[in-house]
Amino acid sequence: MTVTRRAALAAPFVLAAAGRALPARAQAPFPNQTVRIIVPYSPGGASDIAARLIAEKLTPLWKQSVVVENRTGANGIVGSDAVAKAPADGSTLGFVSVNHAVNAALYTTPFDTLKDFSVISVIYSVPLLLVTAPDFPAKSVQELAAMVKAKPGAITFAGTGGAVHLAAEMFAHKVGAPMVHVPYRGSTAAHPDLIGGRVDVMFDTLAAVIGHVQSGKLKALATTAAQRLPILPDLPTVAESGFPGFEASTWGAIIGPAGLQAPVVTKIATDSIAQLQVPSIQERMAALGATPVGSKPEEAQAFVRAEVAKWQAVVTQAGIEKQ
């Protein structure tokens, strides 16, 4: 068969047009590969446990492996940075605590906490308790405030970083007189000195100190939650003890890199929130002293933004230099 010169010249353009007419291959819906959840803290903490509980339930639901990776360092900054720099396809997520917001106030980070992440859902919240040794003179928040005012800089508090430290700084600012921060590497390290009266007060998580309170080794003056706790119904809040608006807690949230598509964010949030209704997860959350939250993405984003602003104000008021 003879091919004319005109037909030969036209052939590439015909083929190109035909190629454009072919439908594009549709991208497989999320999730279409293994999903990794980076926990930027050591194994065994509340964030790590919650992330593993949810990952275990999402694996069969998504028909994809959902694995948890602990990537520690720099108070959570190392792991969070890995999430910020991951592809925005949902294959890499993070599970962060209140330190994620506190770090924005305390440290110069390699990422922008508000711009470089998609906040998907706040999963739980854990209130703090204000505790002292049993024989500490103050028997209420009001009495403690009076002592702080009477002896500025004489009352000491144990701090381990994050909300545990800054809640005390916030209280001192509300009182209008300073307290002295005694640093510890962790709550467990601080408890013997607190019980022995070598340090005066501490704000610590419910799960960390409830056993000591119930055994009488520590005395609880108040909770930092917005409302009284069902487990301690007679314990007042700091807010109702003369400091309205005072609220501090630790929390756990699922995040991803900025730029995640809305359908992906919605699916991760919806499916993760649904797991909070599973009785076994509710039981484990209760054991951690955690209250399930399950916020929608827009609510979670607003919450983290408010947390960053709150802790930035506390750091500024306390005169803590950013590192």
Task: Say what the pLDDT of residue 28 is.
Answer: 72
In the chain, which segments carry CATH 3.40.190.150?
35-125+249-318
* Phi, psi values for residue 37, rounded to 5°: -110, 115
pTM comes to: 0.86
Strands (E), the chain: 35-39, 66-70, 92-97, 117-132, 156-159, 180-183, 201-205, 219-223, 249-257, 291-292
Rounded distance, CA 245 to CA 8, Å? 80
CA atoms within 13 A on the CB side of 211: 6
Structure tokens at 79: 């792991």
In the chain, which segments carry CATH 3.40.190.10?
127-241
CATH architecture of the domain 127-241 equals: 3-Layer(aba) Sandwich (3.40)
Rounded distance, CA 10 to CA 12, Å? 6
Structure tokens at 177: 């007189």
Alpha carbon distances (Å) from 30 to 34, 66, 304: 10, 13, 25
CATH code linked to domain 35-125+249-318: 3.40.190.150
Q: How many H helices and E strands in the chain?
A: 11, 10
Structure tokens at 129: 């308790």
Rounded distance, CA 282 to CA 268, Å? 19
Task: Say what the pLDDT of residue 133 is.
Answer: 98
Q: Distance of alpha carbon 11 from its chain centroid, rounded?
A: 60
Rounded distance, CA 13 to CA 272, Å? 50
> Tens of pLDDT along the chain (323 residues)?
444 444 444 444 444 444 444 444 455 789 999 999 999 999 998 999 999 999 999 999 999 999 999 999 999 999 999 999 999 999 999 999 999 999 999 999 999 999 999 999 999 999 999 999 999 999 999 999 999 999 999 999 999 878 999 999 999 999 999 999 999 988 889 999 999 999 999 999 998 999 999 999 999 999 999 999 988 999 999 999 999 999 999 999 999 999 999 999 999 999 999 999 999 999 999 888 899 999 999 999 999 999 999 999 999 999 998 98
Task: Say what the pLDDT of residue 27 is.
Answer: 59
Rounded distance, CA 99 to CA 252, Å? 10
Task: Say what the pLDDT of residue 288 is.
Answer: 87
